[in-house]
């Protein structure tokens, strides 16, 4: 993304978005005689404006900056634009920039040649990495990686991070490897066929900076009771391999049980974001391991 900043949830947040987009000088990414469109994406609740209003405000800022700097107003064309600019709003954090995936909907990824039956949207994977505070050069783990979306998104975002993808189901692990090859990041993603409830036997203790995970919900996959048992076994193992100060971002449809398991494992809740994933409302909860 080219520009980012905080915006208010009230209607005044549209003015915040305009200033962020204006400062990003996004018109530089629109070719001469080219047309553009703005795609607004919102994650979280409480906004007093729609994605369409957000997109319109960002588009106005793009045109105003272009007029002031170049004396020309780029044309808006919603059908087959030359450039798509995305305004991605995660609760109160806005990121704006040209969409480089070739897709209007950012959650669709051409690298996904293997479709996991409950795949995490790429937009949510990106949001979870940001919410966890992930940075380049860190060790980032997805202990139930499915088709590898989190690890691949992290590889595309952080060129020097160490990325580890653990998956119990061998078919899904092979699918994650296929997807990483398709995304041309396979040499950077370490795919391990292993059990998330036995992480301390796979990785060294206090060796991981960030854990990003999309465990089975128990609604689409398996039994809810099994998911609660999974939390009780998984969270202590996560705590063992996390460095002091490390964070874990977990997406869940059972937030109460996840919080109980995390608390027993000695992890502290940092914050929670409620998001819609497919036809479900779920929570992304970020936990931190206390410093020694």
Percent pLDDT > 70 in the chain is: 91
**242-252: strand order across its sheet:** 189-193, 162-167, 139-142, 208-213, 242-252, 280-288, 268-277
Region class of 44: left (phi > 0), else alpha (psi between -120 and 50), else beta:
left
Which pLDDT score is estimated for 81?
Answer: 84
pTM: 0.65
CATH code of the domain made up of 3-98: 3.30.2130.30
Residue 251: half-sphere exposure toward Cβ, Cα within 13 Å = 29
Q: Could you tell me the pLDDT band of residue 21, with boundaries at 50, 70 and 90?
A: very high
> What does the pLDDT average to over 163-174?
93
Q: What share of the chain is helix, strand, coil (3-state, %, to 5)?
A: 35, 25, 35
Domain ranges of the chain: 3-98, 122-288
**pLDDT higher than 50, residue 104:** no
- Lowest average pLDDT, out of 26-35, 54-63, 147-156, 228-237, goes to 26-35
Q: Could you tell me the pLDDT band of residue 210, with boundaries at 50, 70 and 90?
A: very high
Which pLDDT score is estimated for 221?
Answer: 43
Looking at every residue in the chain, the average pLDDT score rounds to: 88
Beta pairing class for 93-98 and 3-6: antiparallel
Q: Could you tell me the pLDDT band of residue 8, with boundaries at 50, 70 and 90?
A: very high
Tell me which CATH homologous superfamily contains domain 122-288: Vaccinia Virus protein VP39 (3.40.50.150)
What pLDDT digit, counting tens, does each position of 189-207 carry? Answer: 999 999 999 999 999 999 9
Which pLDDT score is estimated for 106?
Answer: 47
**pLDDT higher than 60, residue 128:** yes
In angstroms, what CA-CA distances link 74 with 15, 36, 71? 21, 7, 10
> What does the pLDDT average to over 146-175?
92
**pLDDT higher than 70, residue 35:** yes
43 or 238: which leads in pLDDT: 238
Q: Could you tell me the pLDDT band of residue 1, with boundaries at 50, 70 and 90?
A: low
What pLDDT digit, counting tens, does each position of 248-291 carry? Answer: 999 998 899 999 999 999 999 999 998 877 667 889 999 999 99
Which pLDDT score is estimated for 107?
Answer: 47
């Amino acid at each position: 993304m080219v520009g980012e900043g905080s915006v208010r949830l009230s209607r005044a947040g549209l003015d915040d978005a305009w200033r962020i987009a204006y400062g990003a000088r996004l018109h530089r990414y629109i070719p001469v005689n080219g047309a553009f469109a703005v795609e607004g994406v919102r994650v979280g609740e409480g906004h007093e404006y729609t994605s369409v209003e957000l997109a319109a405000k960002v588009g106005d800022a793009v045109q105003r900056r272009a007029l002031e700097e170049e004396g020309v107003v780029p044309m808006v064309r919603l059908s087959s634009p030359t450039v798509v600019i995305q305004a991605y709003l995660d609760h109160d954090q806005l990121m704006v920039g040209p969409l480089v995936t070739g897709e209007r909907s950012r959650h669709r990824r051409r690298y996904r040649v293997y479709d996991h039956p409950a795949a995490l949207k790429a937009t949510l994977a990106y949001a979870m990495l940001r919410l966890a505070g992930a940075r380049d050069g860190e060790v980032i783990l997805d202990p139930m990686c499915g088709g590898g979306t989190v690890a691949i998104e992290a590889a595309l975002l952080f060129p020097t991070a160490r990325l580890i993808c653990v998956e119990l189901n061998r078919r899904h692990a092979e699918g994650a490897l296929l997807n990483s090859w398709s995304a041309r990041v396979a040499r950077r993603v370490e795919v391990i066929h292993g059990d998330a409830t036995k992480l301390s036997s796979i990785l060294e203790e206090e060796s991981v900076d960030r854990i990003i995970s999309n465990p089975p919900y128990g609604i689409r996959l398996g039994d809810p009771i099994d998911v609660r048992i999974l939390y009780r076994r998984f969270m202590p193992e996560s705590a063992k391999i996390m460095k002091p100060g490390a964070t874990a971002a977990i997406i869940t449809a059972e937030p109460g049980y996840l919080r109980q398991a995390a608390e027993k494992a000695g992890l502290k809740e940092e914050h929670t974001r409620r998001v819609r994933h497919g036809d479900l409302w779920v929570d992304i909860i970020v936990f931190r391991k206390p410093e020694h």
